[in-house]
């Protein structure tokens, strides 16, 4: 009825050794991977022409509503008037967006200062930086890490000005 303790101990020891072997393999793998240095970098400031395709303004909105808290699944904060009635308030701030089209495609900038500066159809010069994920490693053994790869992962919009005519 009771298990043989010697067999159980022998089985557990083998399992532990296998687990230790797996851990050692994982740590060695991480050590080899850790030699590669990954960095997020920005390019020099770049510029190109773009056209203002659209300007979008959404006014701020405020709403009050009476709800039955037993059926309010939004978990919004509110003022409880009774067991089955509460007042919920929500506020949506105004939004200003400008849609540009350039050689990379279309992109949206949500800044009031940009929205106020341009009209639809304006040709502008956009300044930006490329955001890259770069990998470095000492591949020739001289103690200096060389760039192995670089991939553009995004763009950082800096500014836009009217293009000279």
Give residue 139's pLDDT: 86
CATH fold for the domain made of 37-59+95-165:
OB fold (Dihydrolipoamide Acetyltransferase, E2P) (2.40.50)
Q: What is the pLDDT of residues 56-75, one digit of tens each?
A: 999 999 888 776 665 555 55
Mean residue pLDDT of the chain comes to 80
- Burial (CB < 10 A; 0-12, 13-18, 19+), residue 1, is exposed
Q: What pLDDT score was predicted for residue 62?
A: 87
Q: Is the pLDDT of residue 53 over 60?
A: yes
48-52, 87-91, 100-104, 113-117: segment of lowest average pLDDT: 87-91
């Amino acid at each position: 009825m009771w298990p043989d303790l010697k067999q159980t101990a022998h089985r557990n020891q083998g399992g532990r050794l296998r687990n230790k072997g797996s851990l050692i393999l994982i740590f060695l793998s991480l050590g080899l991977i850790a030699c590669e240095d990954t960095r997020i970098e920005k390019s020099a400031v770049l510029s190109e022409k773009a056209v203002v395709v659209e300007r979008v303004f959404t006014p701020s909105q405020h709403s009050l509503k009476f709800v039955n808290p037993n059926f309010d699944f939004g978990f919004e904060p509110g003022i409880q008037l009774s067991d089955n009635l509460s007042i919920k308030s929500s506020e949506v701030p105004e939004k200003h967006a400008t849609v540009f089209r350039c050689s990379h495609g279309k992109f949206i900038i949500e800044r009031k200062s940009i929205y106020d500066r341009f009209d639809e159809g304006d040709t502008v010069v956009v300044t930006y930086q490329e955001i890259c994920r770069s990998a470095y490693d000492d591949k020739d053994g001289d103690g200096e890490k060389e760039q192995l790869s670089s991939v553009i992962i995004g763009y950082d919009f800096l500014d836009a000005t009217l293009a000279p005519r």
